[in-house]
Amino acid sequence: MAEPEDTRETLDQNRWGILTRDAGGFAIWRRSGAGEPLASFPSTDDGSDDAWEAFRALARRGRRDLLLPRLLLVAIISAILWVVATTVVTVTYSTLYWRSIDTTSWNWLMWVQAASTVAYSVFVASVGTYVVLWLDRRSRRDGG
């Protein structure tokens, strides 16, 4: 197994990989630097361009891979909040419809209804974004 040697020049690094150059060309390594390079490129202008593009693509994939679980968490939390708030509003309206209640109770009910609307909007936006990013990730993985 080849490992990065001291003769390699580090051109750039991020949390996902390291771009190096040596006499043989360009290489992208795992952040740990151990094992085989993730990709190698010849020591030409085209090789340089390809190496930099692949390095930037690695960073984009890494950021997207961090975003997907967070979007899923936001979708789950907002869905729970939406269901709870909608249930509270529905039950409160149905039980208090025939009775007269004070202004404070109506104000509280309006705030809960507003929270329900916001939670639903966040849920729809996060699920939609998650699906788009997941489909993009899948199509890139499948070579589409």
CA distances in angstroms from 119 to 91, 126, 127, 131, listed in the order given:
18, 10, 12, 18
pLDDT greater than 80 at residue 2:
no
Tell me, what amino acid is at 50?
D
Q: What is the pLDDT of residues 27-69, one digit of tens each?
A: 988 877 677 888 899 989 999 999 999 999 888 888 877 888 8
